[in-house]
């Protein structure tokens, strides 16, 4: 029997298959994610440390935590999480991403369990995690509610789920589509479909319907002068992230 994969949009996964070799090129097609990494890691690590009372000044503060990076791509987040001590499973629906992620982790001396699978297949297998990272994936799936429901099943009671995506605003059309795909040409044209973007209120609603309790949201704001990203309490108009818990 084939593993369930009802959240997979084959056309979306094919886009990532085509770019798989570029994951670790900081000047390649995933340049926006490389640039965003310090800012989003700041948010992710702070939320996890808060939830599990971990001290980020320690060398391996996430020791003992089981973490799933769903839609892991080349492992841009799986690797820093493993370095911080988490026991990481990285899962992606695009098969070509996995060898790229595996080779890079091996060369970095990191042990990460990378799998070609989906959230729904992991949920059906009864896997659970303390932390599920779900970063920049929900705007690429076939059915966001079904996908988030599968992600919910993967978080153990008392666990945390971090989910980032792109808002559906005039500004996000200008920045994420015109800017990133047409002007900067970071991403191939057609990488993002504006109509699949989700507003923060819609995402909170979907998260609640999936069984999560959303507890925080912040914007990721790009400053074109300093060429850096920062977290914002108020500006969620383009990229943003949410933290949700599953009551213990
Ligand atoms: C924009 S990338 C984000 C990669 C990584 N999370 C990061 O932020 O660096 C989206 C990833 O989600 C994967 N993906 C798309 N649909 C998926 C699904 N239904 N289940 C699991 N992964 C999926 C793609 O193959 C791709 O690697
Ligand atoms: Mg995206």
In a domain, residue 5? The reply is no
How many domains is the chain built from? 1
Q: Which residues have CB under 8 Å from 168's CB, separation 6+?
A: 194, 195, 197, 198, 199, 202
| Interval 20-57: pLDDT, tens | 999 999 999 999 899 999 999 999 999 999 999 999 99
Residue 2 lies inside a defined structural domain of this protein: no
CATH number at residue 87: 3.40.50.150
Contacts (Cβ under 8 Å, ≥6 apart) of 198 = 138, 139, 144, 165, 166, 167, 168, 206
Asked if 219 contacts 231 with a C-beta cutoff of 8 angstroms, the reply is yes
Question: Is 171 inside a domain boundary?
Answer: yes
Residue 227 lies in a domain: yes
92 in a known ligand binding site: yes
Closest ligand 1 atom to residue 147 Cα is 19
Report the alpha-carbon distance of residue 218 to residue 230 in Å, rounded. Answer: 10
pLDDT in tens, 63-122: 999 999 999 999 999 999 999 999 999 999 999 999 999 999 999 999 999 999 999 999
Residue nearest to atom 3 of ligand 1 (CA): 136
Task: Note the Cα 2 to chain centre separation in Å.
Answer: 25
**Mean pLDDT over residues 186-213, rounded?**
95
Helix (H) or strand (E) holding 159: strand 155-166
Per DSSP, the three-state class of 1 is coil
Of 137, 188, 191, 192, which is best to mutate to test ligand 1, by the most ligand atoms within 8 angstroms of its C-beta?
137
241 in a structural domain: yes
Written as six digits, the tokens of 140 are: 């690429």
> How many Å lie between the centroid of ligand 2 and the Cα of residue 142?
13
Instruction: Note whether residue 1 is domain-resident.
Output: no
According to DSSP, the β-strands at 113-116 and 87-92 are parallel
Asked, for residue 150, whether it belongs to a domain, the answer is yes
Range of the domain at 223: 10-246
* Strand ranges in 53-136 using DSSP code E only, listed in sequence order: 66-70, 87-92, 113-116, 129-135
Tell me if 74 is assigned to some domain: yes
The structure's pTM equals 0.96
pLDDT band at 177 (very low <50, low <70, confident <90, very high): very high
């Amino acid at each position: 029997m084939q593993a369930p994969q009802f959240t997979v949009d084959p056309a979306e996964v094919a886009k990532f298959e085509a770019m798989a070799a570029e994951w670790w090129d900081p000047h390649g097609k995933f340049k926006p994610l490389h640039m965003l990494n310090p800012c989003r890691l700041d948010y992710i690590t702070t939320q996890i440390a808060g939830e599990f009372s971990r001290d980020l000044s320690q060398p391996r503060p996430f020791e003992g935590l089981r973490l799933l990076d769903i839609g892991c791509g080349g492992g841009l987040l799986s690797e820093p999480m493993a370095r911080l001590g988490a026991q990481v499973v990285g899962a992606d629906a695009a098969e070509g991403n996995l060898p790229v992620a595996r080779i890079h982790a091996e060369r970095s001396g990191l042990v990460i369990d990378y799998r070609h699978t989906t959230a729904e297949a992991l949920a059906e297998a009864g896997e659970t995690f303390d932390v599920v990272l779900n970063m920049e994936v929900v705007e690429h799936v076939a059915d966001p509610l079904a996908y988030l429901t599968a992600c919910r099943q993967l978080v153990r009671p008392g666990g945390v789920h971090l989910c980032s995506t792109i808002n559906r605003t005039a500004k996000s059309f200008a920045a994420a589509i015109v800017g990133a795909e047409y002007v900067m040409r970071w991403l191939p044209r057609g990488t993002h479909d504006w109509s699949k973007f989700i507003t923060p209120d819609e995402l909170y609603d979907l998260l609640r319907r999936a069984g999560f309790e959303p507890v925080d949201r912040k914007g990721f704001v790009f400053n074109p002068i300093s060429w850096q990203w920062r977290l914002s309490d108020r500006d969620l108009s383009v990229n943003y992230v949410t933290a949700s818990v599953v009551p213990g």
